[in-house]
Structure formats: C-alpha cells, structure tokens
Amino acid sequence: MELPRPLPHLLLIFLVSQLLFACAQRPPEELIQQHKQASYTLKPNASSLNQFKVNQIAQYQPGKNGIAILSDGLSAFAARIALIEEAELSIDAQYYMIKEDMTGALFLGHLLLAADRGVRVRLLIDDINTSNYDDVLKALALHDNVEVRVFNPFYDRTFRATNMVGDFNRLNSRMHNKSLTIDGLITVVGGRNIGDEYFSAKDDLEFADIDAIALGPVVDEVNQAFDLYWNDIRSYPMEALNPKEVDIQAQHRRLEQQIFKHSVKSFIKAHRRYAKLIEDKSFRDFLYWCDGRLLVDHPNKDFGFTQNVATNLGEAMLDATQSILLSSPYFVPGEEGSEALIELSNKGIDVSVITNSLAATDVAAVHSGYKKYRKRLVEANVFVYEIKPDASQKQRLAFFGKGASRASLHSKMFVIDEEKLFIGSFNWDPRSINLNTEMGLLLTCPNLAERVFSGVHGELPYKSYLLEMNEQHNLEWLESVKGQEVKRYTSEPKASAWRKFQAWIVGLLPIEDQL
C-alpha cells in the first residue's frame, strides 16, 4: 500500500491540477455551432421496405407494442448487428459506454458500413469511457452520413482527471441511457453497454443482462427521447471537442479490419439466425404484444428536472397487490427505499430483491452501501438473493463457446404482480435516482411478465445465495446445490479477504449519495 505523500507534495499536486483545470474550458461557441445543427428522427415513407415489414408484423395487434426479450449475450449482440445491417434510412444509437474492445470495434465498424451505403447515423455517447476513442469518433463524425455527439464531456481531453477537481458537480452526473433505433421503427432498449463482458465475449468476466427489442407506438417515444438528448446543450459535436487533424481513412480502415479480424464462428451463426428472422418476418413469432410506455429522465435531471424513471417506478411498486421482483446489480435502497420495501412486505406483498454478492460485484464500494440495509430487509421478510460469482456458467451462449470464469449480475428489471415489467438502465441506488439520467420500458404484459417471473424464480435457488437470520440474529447465506444438502455461510461467500476489507473501509466513508 502506498504511504501518504508529504503535505507539500499534496499542495503542489493540487495547485498543478487547478492550473490544468483553468485551461480546460468549454469549446468556443462558434466552433460548437459550426458542427451542431438541430436534427430529428427521420420517418420512412410508405415505400420503405422496413416500414412495410413492420406494418405487416404490427397489423396482428394494432396499437400494441411487439416485444422480444434478449437474455443471452451472444444473441443480444447478434440481434443488434443484424438490425444495423437491415437499416435503410437511419440509425440512432445512444449509449453510456462503448468500450475499446472486440464488440466495441465491431459495433462501430458496422455503423460505418451502414453510413457507407447511405444510412444516416447519429451516435450519442456519454464521455465516461471515450478517452482512447477521440480520434476514431472524430473520423466517424467526419463521414458525410455520420454525426457523433458526446454527452456532458470532459473539456480537457488529455488530463481528464484534473477536470474533476474544479468541475466535479457537472461531471459527476452521467448519461446512463441505452438504446439503438433503426429507421425510427424498431428499437433495442435495456441494460447492456457495448463491450465484451456484456455479450459473452470475455473469458474472465460476464455480465448477466437483459434487453428488449420493441416495435410499435413506444418506438415513437424512444425517438422523441433521443431527439431531446441529441439537441440538448450538454451534447457536444465530436469535432468541437477534438479539433486536431486525424487520418480519416486510417481510422475507417482500422474499424473495417476489425470486422474481418473478429469473424467468430459462434457470432456468425447467431447473427445469421437473427438476420433471417428479420428478413422473413418470422420475427413476429417471438413477440409478446404489450401495452407500455417509455420512462426516461430529462437530460438535465441533476438541475432539478423531472426524475421520471424513479418516480414512475416507485408509483408502480406502491400499486402492487401481490408480488414485486426487482433485479438491480447496484442496490443501495437508502433509508426511504428500505422503509418502502418493508412497508410493502408488511402489507403481505411478496417482495424479492436480487443483487450481486460481494464476490460477484464489479464495484465493491457499492456493496458497502448496500450491506447497511440488507439485515433489516431480511428481518422484515423481504427475500434477498445475492448472485453467485459463477451463476451463469450453465448452458451459456458465448462468442468462444465457453463460459467466463466469473459472472456478475447487470440486469435492471422489475416485475410487479406478474403483470407489469420494467426493462432498462435504472439501478436502485442514489446515483440512478439523483445523478445519472436513465431510461427503460414499463410494460403491461401479463404473459411476458409471468414468463420472466417464473423463469427467474426457477433459477434463483441455484444461481444465488438466499439470506436468512439465524438464531443468534446474524445473517447467513444459504446455498442450494442439486442433490446436496443446503450449505450455510456466516460471512460473505467466496469473497476474498481483500474484497471484504475494501467493502468495510469504504463503508466508513460518508459517500453513499455518490454510489
């Protein structure tokens, strides 16, 4: 462990960081306006082939939303690429994170290919993970059919950390939304960022997640939300943030080469399946027909605008009469949230919470905030399940035909009374409630909600630890293994001493509102 630096050194670091921040000013307004013109969703005309296909599918249930669930990583990625290839008119992509890895390169590469064939591409990305992508993103933005905007950016593109010193409140609020919309007609909304661990393409970590493909009236709401964020003052054109010259052709070739480099057989097989489903319209056989709407926060939520997602989810839960199942990888309910769940349980409602165990979570600091509340929830007969670090090993579809060594829950999902279903980006923690912008689909769809509810509950005993109170009034973790007696643990199962120490030390700090 590194020893604390002498005070003069800390003072010097502070002064230097202040000097660097002083140079990190917002790009000139004229440069921003030169590259930023308001634009809106393009609507396909009646002769559009994709308009015809969607109409053919939607005519079976007029006014309803067609919903298909993407639960395994490989299918979730293959479906996205198949839809991008199907685009005729436009692609609108909004993501918190596009990582500099295999699936990130494949995703951007296919956006470039779509632009090459005349499709208008609008890419809106949060700035949390773009530090190595500035040149690639600018090269994309300089394509005639592509615009790239960065949400709430770091003005100093070289010394990003110093931006946080004097501009923390602004930069601490992030755009966590995730959507991909094709021709304004069909969209993918859910919890996945673009990165290998979200799509079963990483051998040391996999995030178990869920997305929904949607067509129908709710797509218009997604279009309106995208336009709102796209034209917001916080969305900056990439050209204004990165004014230096880039080798456009070299960057384009780099992306196109990734497509051939990563032509993994298992991905190609899954991709062909989805491409065929879309092409012959048998896609409708996988759809559930639902009433529903988009929940989305205002892009300036942290300045007091409507907290649409948290507010509406809270109201939906309070209307529950039988059961609530919620999945949140980063679960920090706080005093108010804990009391709300306890009150629901006291009313006889079956409340189940699924989150990560300390061994499974990728953010030990969040676990330190969650563990303050779990004991009182268990005492109040709230069922608390913590996902095992190897929970998704069984029969997982993966890019390389084998499972990752560690799994972590990443799905953000609510099932209410086996009738209503929420799928989106919202975690039940202070950051999602107060700081980050979020979005998701709130569907009234009994057939689908019941299927998801029963499917999750059928797997939970073997993929998670159930928390209970023992006779000494302490927590125990119960592990069910088929054909064996239930195992009991008296401390965080499979978590290393170092992880336990991390969670403990962070728990001493007054930072819960930032988790």
Is the pLDDT reported for residue 14 higher than 60?
no
Q: Which of 127, 211, 302, 417 is catalytic?
A: 417
| 77-81, 189-193, 480-484: range with lowest mean pLDDT | 480-484
Query: What's the token pair of residue 421?
Result: 């279903």
| 67-71, 142-146, 345-349, 458-462: range with lowest mean pLDDT | 458-462
Span 414-441, average pLDDT: 96
Q: Give the whole-angstrom CA distance, residue 504 versus residue 147.
A: 45
Classify residue 263 as left (phi > 0), alpha (psi -120 to 50) or beta. Answer: beta
Residue 512 has what pLDDT?
A: 67
Identity of residue 330: Y
Query: What's the token pair of residue 340?
Result: 């709300």
What percent of the chain has pLDDT above 90?
A: 56
Of the candidates 342, 328, 352, 359, the one whose C-alpha atom is nearest the C-alpha of residue 430 is 328
Active-site residue flag, 183: yes
Residue 5 has what pLDDT?
A: 45
Residue 247 CA: distances (Å) to CA of 136, 145, 466, 489: 9, 17, 54, 57
pLDDT range class, residue 300, cuts 50, 70, 90: very high
Q: What is the pLDDT of residues 35-56, one digit of tens each?
A: 899 999 998 887 787 888 888 8
Residue 162 has what pLDDT?
A: 80
Query: What's the token pair of residue 178?
Result: 């995730």
Residue 64 has what pLDDT?
A: 96
- Residue pair 277/283 in contact (Cβ under 8 Å)? The answer is yes
Of the candidates 393, 405, 388, 359, the one whose C-alpha atom is nearest the C-alpha of residue 478 is 388
Give the burial class of 323: count Cβ atoms within 10 A of its Cβ; 0-12 exposed, 13-18 middle, 19 or more buried: middle
Is the pLDDT reported for residue 394 higher than 50?
no
Q: Give the whole-angstrom CA distance, residue 359 versus residue 489.
A: 13
Q: What is the pLDDT of residues 308-362, one digit of tens each?
A: 899 999 999 999 999 999 999 999 999 999 999 999 999 999 999 999 999 998 8
Residue 5 CA: distances (Å) to CA of 11, 12, 159: 10, 11, 21
Ranked by mean pLDDT, the top range of 81-90, 440-449, 451-460 is: 440-449
In the three-class reduction of DSSP (H, G, I as helix; E, B as strand; rest coil), residue 98 is classed as strand
Classify residue 473 as left (phi > 0), alpha (psi -120 to 50) or beta. Answer: left
If one compares 199 and 500, the residue with the highest pLDDT of the two is 199
Q: Which of 110, 412, 420, 463 is catalytic?
A: 412
Identity of residue 12: L
Residue 120 CA: distances (Å) to CA of 65, 125, 149, 183, 385: 25, 16, 14, 9, 44
pLDDT range class, residue 59, cuts 50, 70, 90: confident
pLDDT range class, residue 397, cuts 50, 70, 90: low
Q: What is the pLDDT of residues 87-141, one digit of tens each?
A: 999 999 999 999 988 889 889 999 999 999 999 999 999 999 888 888 999 999 9
Q: Give the whole-angstrom CA distance, residue 27 versus residue 35.
A: 12
Q: Give the whole-angstrom CA distance, residue 460 versus residue 476.
A: 17
Q: Which of 156, 183, 211, 429 is catalytic?
A: 183
Residue 3 has what pLDDT?
A: 39
- Residue pair 57/281 in contact (Cβ under 8 Å)? The answer is yes
Q: Give the whole-angstrom CA distance, residue 163 versus residue 127.
A: 12
Query: How many other β-carbons are positioned within 10 Å of the β-carbon of residue 29?
Result: 10
- 270 Cβ neighbours under 8 A, 6+ residues apart: 74, 75, 77, 78, 397
Q: What is the pLDDT of residues 156-182, one digit of tens each?
A: 888 887 888 878 889 999 999 999 999
Global model pTM greater than 0.75 = yes
Q: What residue ranges in 336-489 does DSSP mark as E strands? A: 350-356, 383-387, 407-409, 412-416, 420-424, 439-444, 464-469, 475-479, 487-489
Q: What is the pLDDT of residues 118-133, one digit of tens each?
A: 999 999 999 998 888 8
- Residue pair 229/175 in contact (Cβ under 8 Å)? The answer is yes
Residue 457 has what pLDDT?
A: 87
In the chain, the domains with their CATH numbers are 28-286 (3.30.870.10), 293-514 (3.30.870.10)
Of the candidates 433, 416, 452, the one whose C-alpha atom is nearest the C-alpha of residue 330 is 433
Residue 4 has what pLDDT?
A: 44
Active-site residue flag, 412: yes
Specify the DSSP class assigned to residue 380.
Answer: T
- Residue pair 153/128 in contact (Cβ under 8 Å)? The answer is no
Q: What is the pLDDT of residues 283-295, one digit of tens each?
A: 777 899 999 999 9
Q: Which of 64, 176, 252, 367 is catalytic?
A: 176
In the three-class reduction of DSSP (H, G, I as helix; E, B as strand; rest coil), residue 262 is classed as coil
Residue 28 has what pLDDT?
A: 85
Q: Which of 35, 110, 138, 178 is catalytic?
A: 178
Active-site residue flag, 417: yes
Q: Give the whole-angstrom CA distance, residue 104 versus residue 112.
A: 12
